[in-house]
Amino acid sequence: MDTQQSREEFYKLITFNKGIIIKICNSYCADAGYREDLAQEIIYHLWKSGHSFNNNYKFTTWMYRIALNVAISFYRGKTKAATIVSLENHHTELADTGGEEAEANINLLQHFISQLNALDKALMILYLDEKTYAEIATVLGITETNVATKLSRIKARLKQNFATVNQ
């Protein structure tokens, strides 16, 4: 990826799929300063790994692999305190986008996801982004059965968390 044309294509693909990067950064980094670093790191690795993109896979699947791998490596290097999204922190960032109840639910979901371990977090993000079990299994390198079992446990945990808060 070094011609002007491929650079333009890369920009377009990143812009079109920017939500993936933003969601992953938000989930793995509580600190806005770190998030910016992480986003740069992800885009850098996407650019650097351009040659490894295989047309047999979806672009987003390839992008998830790289972005999650970079985020998890980044996450391992930071303290836990910098990785758990506090409700207050997130509330400030989304405050002026309307809908109080929806807002509260988004904040809660982000908060609960940030409490998961690095690998469970990746699994949940992929599930919520409507990836199939086969795609999730490929990105994570585990079996589909394992994906299904783990997902049901994590979902149960998240629902339990929501239920506790809503009591």
C-alpha 80/C-alpha 77 separation (Å) is 9
C-alpha 35/C-alpha 21 separation (Å) is 10
C-alpha 162/C-alpha 98 separation (Å) is 21
Tokens of 30: 């509580």
Q: What residues from 67 to 96 belong to the interface with another protein (CB under 8 A)? A: 68-70, 72-73, 76-77, 93-94, 96
Beta strands in the chain (DSSP E): none
Query: Does the footprint of another protein cover residue 23 (CB under 8 A)?
Result: yes
Compute the least distance from the CB of residue 35 to another protein, in Å. Answer: 5
Sign (positive or negative) of CA dihedral 98, 103, 107, 109 = negative
Query: Does the footprint of another protein cover residue 66 (CB under 8 A)?
Result: yes
Compute the least distance from the CB of residue 82 to another protein, in Å. Answer: 14
One character per residue 138-167, x = contact with another protein (rule: CB under 8 A): xxxxxx-xx--xx--x-x--xx--xx----
One character per residue 45-64, x = contact with another protein (rule: CB under 8 A): x-xxx--xx--------x--
C-alpha 127/C-alpha 13 separation (Å) is 22
Are 62 and 53 a contacting pair, CB within 8 Å?
A: yes
Q: Which residues contact 7 (CB under 8 A, 6 or more apart)?
A: 1
Number of residues that bind another protein (CB under 8 A): 68
Contacts to another protein by CB under 8 A: 11, 14-15, 18-19, 21-23, 25-26, 32, 35-36, 38-40, 43-45, 47-49, 52-53, 62, 65-66, 68-70, 72-73, 76-77, 93-94, 96-97, 99, 102, 105-106, 109-110, 117-120, 122, 128-130, 138-143, 145-146, 149-150, 153, 155, 158-159, 162-163
